[in-house]
């Protein structure tokens, strides 16, 4: 059959789509961050971004959130994945329940935790009901940046652990059972099997999950908006403010470029840290 | 000897129970917050704003009705639905042929394309909304359902390609070849043999694309003004809307997603299989 | 008339040469078996005939039509795949009817033909089932019925029985042979199983590393292997090969015995003889060998005895009531007219 051109023909729409709406626009972000509407190159937008008082706070909040959330999620997901992989009864049901948050948007997750942590929310109802406190506590007020931070952490761990779980369960599924049986024959206990077989063979999946999750962590936005409003500035929120509220699209682009560069840098870093030589793969 | 073996079984029993407790706790950890949101939604506005709160709903539909009749909600819902459907159609129409090509052919540039697809993973895609906002103004797509659907398709396309790739790879080439030897041309073999076999999977990846679009907040908020989707509408109302409106809105966002994830649960894993290689 | 002519067909996958310039003619209604070890290019050749693979060079003719540029559907062929390729979303009935529907055969005719071919393959009870509800053997039958139903000029089969267990394989072998003998199709049948090849074929084409080394009747292949490779490949236990020193004038020294062979220039040839063509005799004659028994394997109908003859290994088939044990010295008399000779290249010397 005359197949030579068919694959190219089939790939053409997707390729054009990605070139036009993915690669090219990201090129434009960089351009917009450095060029005025008249096309004059300038660094004034970058300066404007870095000199704004919110810049440092937004940057450090975003980084600290990622640093606080992602390790918890990785460990939790790994624990959940090992439980699931050993289950015989009810595996599908439990897996379904644990992956539910995958379908829930960040905004909805924020609202869900707002219902719990709001001043009139369920947590306060519980605390007062049990007599632990006698007044509802304002967890999410502007004076309580720390509790807002913890609230966002909770919501993020709640919402976005599922995506790691799915990747890890798929990865564990690829590890042949014989390896475990062989290790058991040699007398390796549960923990040994986990550290000597599961972890090393799961490295490519861990890499994928970590990359994906870290990038999503830098995009944190709607959860923060729902729980903290503008009390906890994050980078993505600043992009939104600049673009939509302040109509200052060049500075927005500068923020976007910053997020982009951080994301790419971390992707490369994770790829390098968790690299697996080709020969050592499954 | 006998004491030792009882120690072992005792340890094993403790280990087993700690796992069971973990499972129950983690299930509650996922389910209770959702339940609380739903409970809030089916309470009257007065109850929602009252303190302390009951943890069971009064099954009052006042909040839901208030939400549905709130100015802008109806059209936001409708816009969300339109954008999600368009995203679903575009991502499958563009992604499935690519998935098929990747699964069936060896050709130059195959790897380059895969890198292009996987590269989307390293990029914070919602940021695309910024440059595309500029581009769309030039071509008249600004503040349109189609424009937003294009951005959402960029988000959903990598998944569509990866899922359909694994679907098509799961259909033995021999089935297709058997069809050819029995009188089909390529297209006929695809329609009569491959398509019926992958249809459930295609539906799942379409649904997944729908959910991605349905949930997306940032690009929707940046790119639309008149044609707000529900998440964009809710984001805008965060500052001033009453609690019962927020919660009802959250529930309306969550419920379709729950159903959809239930429908696609079988395919959740094929999306990531390829990424591990 | 569906004679298949393969002219100088070669196939390269990147740097690997899967086929080197193959020439082969399959006569109308003939049952030709392509036999060879795994990886020798059988499947590739079959797929080139089917149109599922494109030859790098060469031509394929079916009847008087050149088909190598045609799509599989236009070649008048049907194919049975190793893994059966029964469509899982269609019933057995619809599977068998598939090809007929594609060629727009009338519904009543389809029904007739589906029932007839299903009857032939003894699957008429299964017509409403799906592939998931069938055993391997039943799927195999569906695949063959589906191929037969279109009444093709040519049926191509790629190791159709290799996924069945031994007993079923033997049963299907006999059945397939009788059904295909009755139909008017030309068949190319690929297998790596020599018993299958010997028992089913009108003609066997033996492939080795992308070449056809011999294409002739099963008996001929067995008796007169064209090359050393064919001799060693066909037959179980395999043919014995012994060094023969050329003494000139057509005489050779083989394991200490003087034997008459072909006239040849080479200082050394190889003598080949099948284990059942060596008699163990009581008296020592000219041209006999002295062997020392190493291993005795009783196989019920006969004994398989491995001897050492002048430091070379030689297998002999003996009657099951002969009493031998390791260490015994036996007198071995090769049947002169069954002895074959090969040169250093492995080609037969007459
Ligand atoms: N699609 C392909 N790509 C690369 N090499 C192939 C392909 N198909 C077959 N080959 C190679 O061609 C040779 C012959 O293969 P094949 O015809 O399948 O052998 P057989 O059927 O006799 O076992 C083998 O070395 C095999 O590795
Ligand atoms: Mg083969």
The 3-class secondary structure across B252-265, one letter per residue, is HHHHHHHHHHHHHH
Q: Give dist(CA A229, CA A227) in Å, integer.
A: 6
Atom of ligand 1 nearest to the CA of C47: 17
pLDDT at C166: 87
Residue-level pLDDT at B139: 92
Residues B6 and B115 in one domain: no
Is the Cβ atom of C192 under 6 angstroms away from ligand 1?
A: no
The SS3 assignment for C120 reads: helix
Is residue C210 in contact with ligand 1, taking CB distance under 6 Å?
no
In order, the DSSP letters of C156-205 are EEESTTTTS-HHHHHHHHHHHHHHHHHS--EEEEEES-HHHHHHH-SEEE
Angstrom distances, CA of residue C189 to CA of A112, C14, C158, C205: 66, 27, 6, 10
Q: Taking 50 as the threshold, does the pLDDT of residue A1 lie above it?
A: no
- Which pLDDT score, from 0 to 100, does residue B277 have? 36
Helices A203-218 and A53-86: crossing angle, nearest 10°?
Answer: 150
* Same-fold call for C4-233 versus C244-349: no
Q: What are phi and psi of C193, to 5 degrees?
A: -100, 110
Q: Are A211 and B122 in contact (CB < 8 Å)?
A: yes
Q: pLDDT of C7-39, one tens digit each? A: 999 999 989 999 999 999 999 999 999 999 999
- Check whether residue B28 and residue B113 sit in a common domain: no
> pLDDT confidence of B172, banded at 50, 70, 90?
very high
Q: Which residues of A touch C72 (CB under 8 A)?
A: 1
Residue B34 is part of which domain span?
2-41
Nearest-CB residue to C71 (from B172, B185, B192): B185
The answer to whether residues B15 and B74 belong to one domain is no
Say if CB A30 and CB A261 are below 8 A apart. no
- The mean pLDDT value for C294-323 works out to 91
Nearest to B132 by CA among B123, B124, B141: B141
Say which residues have a Cβ less than 8 Å from residue A192's Cβ, sequence separation at least 6: A183
Mutate to test the pocket of ligand 1, among C39, C45, C54, C83 (most ligand atoms within 8 A of CB): C39
Q: Say if residue C225's pLDDT is above 90.
A: yes
- Looking at the structure, do residues B237 and B135 belong to the same domain, yes or no? yes
Q: What contacts C221, CB < 8 A, 6 or more positions away? A: C198, C204, C206, C214, C230, C234
pLDDT over threshold 70, residue B255: yes
CB atoms B172 and C146 under 8 Å: no
Q: From the CB of C44, is ligand 1 less than 6 Å away?
A: yes
Cα C55 to middle of ligand 1, angstroms: 13
Q: Which residues have CB under 8 Å from A97's CB, separation 6+?
A: B27, B30, B31
Q: What is the ipTM of this complex?
A: 0.87
User: Helix, strand or coil for residue A278?
Assistant: helix
- The answer on B79 and B33 residing in a single domain is no
Measured by CA distance, the residue closest to atom 25 of ligand 1 is C39
**pLDDT attached to residue C278:** 93
pLDDT above 90 coverage of chain B, percent: 38
Let me know whether B204 and B255 are in one domain: yes
CATH number for the domain including B210? 1.10.3720.10
Q: Do both B6 and B96 map to the same domain?
A: no
Closest CA to C272 of C308, C333, C231: C231
User: How far apart are the C-alpha atoms of C159 and C181, rounded to whole Å?
Assistant: 18
Q: What is the dihedral of CA C41, C44, C45, C48, to 10 degrees?
A: -160
Does B176 share its domain with B223?
A: yes
Task: Give the residue from chain A lying closest to B219, CA to CA.
Answer: A240
In a domain, B53, yes or no: no
> Above 70 in pLDDT, residue B274?
no
Architecture label for domain C244-349 = Beta Barrel (2.40)
Neighbours of C126 (CB within 10 A): 20
**Cβ within 8 Å of residue A87, ≥6 positions away:** A94
For the ranges A127-131, B150-154, C150-154, the lowest mean pLDDT is seen at A127-131
Could you tell me the fold of the domain covering A54-247?
Answer: MetI-like fold (1.10.3720)
Alpha-carbon distance values, C159 to A101, B178, C34, C38, C46 (Å): 49, 15, 10, 11, 11
Q: Which CATH code fits C4-233?
A: 3.40.50.300
Residue closest via CA to ligand 1's atom 3 equals C13
Give domain limits for chain C. 4-233, 244-349
The pTM score is 0.85
Domain extent listing, chain A = 54-247
3-state secondary structure of C248: strand
Please tell me whether residues B97 and B188 are part of one structural domain. yes
Identify the top-confidence range among A189-203, A229-243, C202-216: C202-216
**Structural domains counted in chain B:** 2
């Amino acid at each position: 059959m005359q197949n030579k051109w068919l694959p190219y023909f089939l790939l053409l729409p997707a390729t054009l789509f990605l070139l036009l709406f993915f690669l090219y626009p990201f090129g434009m972000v960089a351009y917009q961050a450095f060029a005025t509407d008249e096309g004059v190159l300038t660094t004034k937008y970058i300066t404007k971004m870095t000199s704004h008082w919110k810049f440092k706070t937004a940057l450090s909040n975003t980084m600290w959130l990622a640093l606080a959330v992602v390790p918890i999620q990785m460990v939790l997901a790994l624990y959940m994945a090992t439980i699931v992989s050993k289950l015989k009864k009810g595996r599908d049901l439990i897996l379904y329940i644990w992956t539910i948050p995958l379908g829930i948007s960040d905004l909805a997750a924020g609202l869900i935790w707002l219902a719990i942590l709001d001043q009139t929310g369920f947590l306060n109802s519980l605390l007062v009901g049990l007599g632990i406190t006698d007044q509802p506590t304002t967890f999410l007020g502007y004076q309580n940046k720390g509790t807002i931070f913890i609230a966002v952490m909770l919501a993020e761990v709640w919402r976005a652990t599922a995506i790691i779980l799915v990747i890890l369960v798929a990865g564990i599924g690829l590890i042949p059972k014989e390896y475990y049986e062989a290790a058991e024959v040699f007398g390796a206990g549960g923990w040994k099997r986990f550290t000597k077989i599961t972890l090393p063979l799961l490295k490519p999946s861990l890499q994928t999950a970590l990359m994906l999750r870290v990038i999503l962590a830098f995009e944190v936005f709607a959860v923060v908006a729902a729980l903290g409003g503008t009390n906890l500035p994050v980078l993505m929120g600043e992009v939104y403010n600049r673009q939509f509220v302040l109509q200052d699209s060049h500075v927005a682009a500068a923020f976007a470029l910053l997020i982009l560069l951080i994301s790419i840098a971390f992707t490369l870093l994770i790829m390098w840290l968790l690299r697996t030589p080709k020969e050592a793969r499954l | 000897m006998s004491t030792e073996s009882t120690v072992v079984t005792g340890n094993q029993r403790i280990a087993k129970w700690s796992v069971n407790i973990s499972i129950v706790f983690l299930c509650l950890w996922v389910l209770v917050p959702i339940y609380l949101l739903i409970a809030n939604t089916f309470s009257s506005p007065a109850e929602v704003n009252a303190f302390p709160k009951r943890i069971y709903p009064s099954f009052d539909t006042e909040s839901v009705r208030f939400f549905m009749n709130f100015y802008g909600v109806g059209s936001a819902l409708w816009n969300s639905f339109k954008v999600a459907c368009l995203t679903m159609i575009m991502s499958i129409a563009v992604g499935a042929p690519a998935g098929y090509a990747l699964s069936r052919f060896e050709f130059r540039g195959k790897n380059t394309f895969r890198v292009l697809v996987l590269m989307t993973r390293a990029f914070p895609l919602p940021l695309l909304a910024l440059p595309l906002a500029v581009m769309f103004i030039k071509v008249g797509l600004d503040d349109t359902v189609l424009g937003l659907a294009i951005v959402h398709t960029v988000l959903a396309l990598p998944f569509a390609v990866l899922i359909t790739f694994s679907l098509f790879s799961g259909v033995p080439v021999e089935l297709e070849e058997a069809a050819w030897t029995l009188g089909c041309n390529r297209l006929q073999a695809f329609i009569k043999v491959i398509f019926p076999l992958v249809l459930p999977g295609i539906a799942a990846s379409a649904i997944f694309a729908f959910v991605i679009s349905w949930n997306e907040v940032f690009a929707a908020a940046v790119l639309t003004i008149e044609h707000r989707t529900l998440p964009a509408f809710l984001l805008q109302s965060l500052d001033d809307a009453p609690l019962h409106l927020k919660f009802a809105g959250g529930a309306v966002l969550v419920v379709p997603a729950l159903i959809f994830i239930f429908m696609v649960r079988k395919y959740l894993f094929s999306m990531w299989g390829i990424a591990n290689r | 008339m569906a004679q298949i002519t393969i002219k100088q067909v070669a196939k390269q996958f990147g740097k690997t040469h899967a086929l080197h310039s193959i020439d082969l003619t399959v006569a109308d209604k003939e049952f030709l078996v392509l036999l060879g070890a795994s990886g020798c290019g059988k499947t590739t050749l079959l797929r080139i005939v089917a149109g599922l693979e494109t030859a790098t060079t060469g031509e394929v003719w079916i009847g008087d039509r050149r088909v190598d540029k045609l799509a599989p559907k236009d070649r008048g062929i049907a194919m049975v795949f190793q893994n059966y390729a029964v469509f899982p979303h269609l019933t057995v009935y619809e599977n068998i009817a598939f090809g007929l529907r594609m060629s727009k055969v009338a519904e009543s005719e389809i029904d007739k033909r589906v029932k007839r071919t299903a009857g032939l393959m003894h699957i008429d009870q299964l017509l409403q089932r799906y592939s998931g509800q069938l055993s391997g053997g039943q799927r195999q039958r569906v695949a063959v019925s589906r191929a037969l139903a279109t009444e093709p000029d040519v049926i191509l089969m790629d190791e159709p029985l290799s996924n069945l267990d031994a007993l079923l394989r033997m049963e299907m072998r006999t059945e397939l042979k009788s059904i295909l003998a009755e139909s008017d199709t030309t068949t190319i049948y690929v297998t790596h199983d020599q018993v299958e090849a010997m028992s089913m074929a009108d003609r066997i084409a033996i492939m080795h590393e992308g070449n056809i080394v011999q294409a002739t009747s099963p008996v001929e292949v067995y008796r007169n292997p064209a090359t050393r490779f064919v001799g060693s490949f066909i037959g179980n236990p395999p043919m014995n090969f012994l060094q023969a020193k050329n003494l000139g004038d057509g005489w050779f020294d083989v394991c200490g015995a003087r034997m008459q062979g072909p006239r040849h220039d080479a200082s050394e040839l190889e003598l080949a003889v099948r284990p059942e063509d060596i008699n163990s005799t009581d008296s020592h004659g000219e041209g006999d060998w002295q062997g020392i028994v190493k291993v005795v394997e009783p196989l019920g109908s006969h004994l398989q005895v491995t001897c050492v003859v002048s430091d070379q290994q030689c297998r002999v088939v003996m009657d099951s009531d002969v009493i031998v044990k390791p260490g015994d010295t036996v007198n071995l008399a090769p049947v002169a007219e069954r002895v074959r000779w090969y040169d250093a290249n492995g080609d037969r010397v007459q």
